[in-house]
Amino acid sequence: MAESPYIIPLDETNFVEVVVEGSANVPVLVDFWADWCGPCKTLMPILEKLAIEYDGRFILAKLDTEQHQGIAQQLGIRSLPTIKLFKDGQLVDEFMGALPEAEVRSFIDKHVEAAGEAEAPIDSSVEQAMQLFENGDAAGARELLQKAQAEDPANGQILLALGQVCIATGDLETAKSCVSALPEEEKDSTAGRRLAGMLELAGESDNDKDAGHWQAELAKDANNSEARYHCAIHSAMAGEVESAMDQLLVLLQKDPEYNDGAARKKLLNLFDVLGDDPLAGQYRRKMFALLH
């Protein structure tokens, strides 16, 4: 195997870290191969060459299906070579067989950023508004952002900032409108998923019973799933995200079917809110271990 930090052999101990968690940062291309497979040996050097050439814009993860049959069976691998591409922990594309280099390159280019692609500069109105917001002037920040949004309705940066300010000030309807108006590429970005996650949390915490009520209910009955769930929501909204995820993991273990799998859904929601925070990876592993 070619020496490169972007080419990683897979096994049972690192599959979740490399593929599930790692694909939250860059696409991960998983090559399922075996030593006896002739087409695998044809495809492998092409994949390795491209992994080196693309210089970290995707990770090539290689799984020897003879040595690690359990993973291959779980993922339904029936022919070799099979290539599966993961983004944000999800399978998004795949192909089977030894394709020519041009076709492999085309397959990869659909899912990776172009070389040298730079992040869009921060809109000056957003910068000014968020400075006001951080200084405690939420009303001024909102006024500035709404004026900017009226002039440029499809600007994703403005919508993301306005949604954040509206959630903080309790205007969930306007925040919801901001999320809905985001361009598709912004909705699927880390910032877009974070805003949607914050909005969902804020919506669930909007009820007549405060954190003290649910904590008292849980103290009376440790098996009260509703109380544990709402304790987790209140913890998350108070910024105690790790405590919230601990509560949700307990609920996932004790009552995984509560409210149609609400504990699992809310953990995924919190992973979006955390974004690249290492806590997200740590708790993804804990959730994966519980579920499997």
The set of long-range contacts for 180-187, using a CB threshold of 8 Å and a minimum separation of 24, is 181/153, 181/154, 182/156, 183/154, 183/156, 185/156, 186/156, 186/159, 186/160
State phi, psi for 91 to the nearest 5 degrees.
Answer: -70, 125
Angle between helices 190-205 and 172-181 (to 10 degrees): 150
- The gap between the terminal CA atoms of the chain, to the nearest Å, is 31
Cα 18 to Cα 34: distance, rounded to the nearest angstrom: 20
Cα 232 to Cα 215: distance, rounded to the nearest angstrom: 10
- The one-letter amino acid code at 205 reads S
Q: Which of 37, 166, 178, 231 is catalytic?
A: 37
SS3 18: helix
SS3 224: coil
Q: What is the DSSP letter of 182?
A: S
Cα 96 to Cα 143: distance, rounded to the nearest angstrom: 53
Cα 134 to Cα 119: distance, rounded to the nearest angstrom: 23
Whether residue 37 lies in the annotated active site: yes
- Token output for 24: 């939250």
Q: Which of 40, 166, 178, 231 is catalytic?
A: 40
Cα 123 to Cα 157: distance, rounded to the nearest angstrom: 7
Whether residue 40 lies in the annotated active site: yes
Neighbouring CB atoms inside 10 A of 20's CB total 19
SS3 118: coil
C-alpha gyration radius of the chain: 22
Residues designated as active site:
37, 40
